[in-house]
Amino acid sequence: MALGCFPAHVDAVPLKLATWNLAWLTSRAAGDPALPPDVIGHSEADLSRLQAYARRLDADIVGIEEVDDVKAAQRLFPTPLYSVVLTDDDVVQKVGLAIKRPWTVTRNPTLRELDVSDKAAAHHLRSGLDVTVHNGPHALRVLVVHLKTGCWDDPLGERGHSCPILRQQLAVLDNWVLERQDEGEPFAIIGDFNRRMTSGDPFYQSLAQQGGALTLTTAGLASPCWGGEYFIDHILLGNQARQWLDTGSLRVLTYQEPATEKPHLSDHCPVSVTLTPR
C-alpha cells in the first residue's frame, strides 16, 4: 500500500501539528560559557508557566526550536505522554520534535546540508530534523528547521551577510522538497524560517515550484504574538497533506503575561494547524 493511501474503513485520526521556538531552552545554568552573556535562562517558575502553555497547546506533534537538551524539553513535554527527539548538532539551539502517544516516530537521515557554514566556522548553523510520524496506517514526513536569521523580507539576491546564506539553505530545501515530490509521500516543513513568507515571496515560490504545489498555512495572515507581528514561524504542507488541512484551523497560542515577561518565556508563540488524514 502506498504511503498516505488508506483503506476506506479506517477512521480518520485528527492530528494537531505545531511549531514553537522556545528561546534558549536549556538545562544549563545562567553564566554557562556555552550561553551568550545576555541569556538569563529559565527559572523553575518560568518552566512551570511554559509547561502550562504546552498543556494548553495540547498538540500531537510539536516542532521545537532553540532547545539544548532532551531533559529541558521534557519539562514541557513529559514522558510517558510525549517522546522527544533532537538533532545531535554541536550547538545549543537545536531543533527537535515532541511526539504525543499514540503517534510514534521514525528518524530519517538528518538534513545536515542546512548547515552551510564553513567547517572552520566558530558558530555553526542548525541541521534539519527529518522524521516520519505514524499512527496506525497514517504517516506524515516532517522536516523541522530553524534557518539563518537576518533576511526576513529582503530580496534573495541581496548581497548582505544573511541573505546569501539563506539562499544556500533554500537550495537545500528545494532539493528535499523535490525528493518528497518524487516519492509522493505527504509531508510538512515546520519551524522558524526567519522569513516573512507570503504567497508572493520568491523564497516560498521556489519551494512551491519544486513541490508542484505547497500550502503555506500562514499566507495572508498576521500573528497576534506579543501584540502583533509578521509570521516567521511557518507550517508548509505538501503532496496529500495539503488535502488533510482542516480549513480555518490555524491557531496562535498567545501568552497572558505582559511583554516584560518575554525574556522569561519566549519571543515566539506556538503556531498550530489541525490535519485530518483521509
* Mean pLDDT of the region 37-44: 86
Q: What pLDDT does 1 receive? A: 37
Other Cβ atoms closer than 10 A to 221: 13
DSSP state of 128: B
* Mean pLDDT of the region 131-145: 96
* Cell 482542516, residue located: 246
For the stretch 84-101, pLDDT in tens is 999 999 999 999 999 999
The grid coordinates listed for 42 are: 529559565
Which residues, listed in sequence order, are joined to residue 273 by a DSSP beta bridge? 17
Instruction: Round the CA-based radius of gyration of the chain to a whole number and report it.
Output: 18
Residue 75: pLDDT band with limits 50, 70, 90: very high
Give the percent of the chain with pLDDT over 70. 95
For the stretch 169-184, pLDDT in tens is 999 999 999 999 999 9
Mean pLDDT of all residues in the chain?
A: 93
What is the rounded CA–CA span in Å between residue 32 and residue 267? Answer: 21
The grid coordinates listed for 76 are: 514541557
Q: Tell me the backbone φ, ψ of residue 178, rounded to 5 degrees.
A: -60, -40
210 in Cβ contact with 174 (< 8 Å): yes
219 in Cβ contact with 199 (< 8 Å): yes
The grid coordinates listed for 95 are: 531543533
* Mean pLDDT of the region 113-133: 90
50 in Cβ contact with 265 (< 8 Å): yes
Q: What pLDDT does 193 receive? A: 98
- For residues 10-44, b (16+ Cβ closer than 10 Å) or e, as one string? eeebebbbbbbbbbbbbebeeeeeebeeebebbee
Which residues are within 8 A (CB) of 88 and not within 5 positions of it... i.e. 6 or more apart? 110
For the stretch 234-272, pLDDT in tens is 999 999 999 999 999 999 999 999 999 999 999 999 999
The grid coordinates listed for 192 are: 522558524
What is the rounded CA–CA span in Å between residue 213 and residue 258? Answer: 39
The grid coordinates listed for 143 are: 522536516
Q: Are strands 233-238 and 187-192 parallel, antiparallel or unpaired?
A: antiparallel
User: Is residue 35 over pLDDT 90?
Assistant: no
Residue 168: pLDDT band with limits 50, 70, 90: very high
Per mean pLDDT, which range of 2-11, 165-174, 195-204 is the poorest?
A: 2-11
Q: What pLDDT does 39 receive? A: 84
pTM, two decimals, is 0.93
* SS3 letters across 9-23: CCCCCCEEEEEEEEE
| Residue 106: C-alpha distances to residues 103, 124, 172 (Å) | 10, 26, 21
DSSP state of 127: P
59 in Cβ contact with 270 (< 8 Å): yes
For the stretch 189-198, pLDDT in tens is 999 999 999 9
CA angle 96, 74, 269 (to 5 degrees): 60
Q: What pLDDT does 119 receive? A: 78
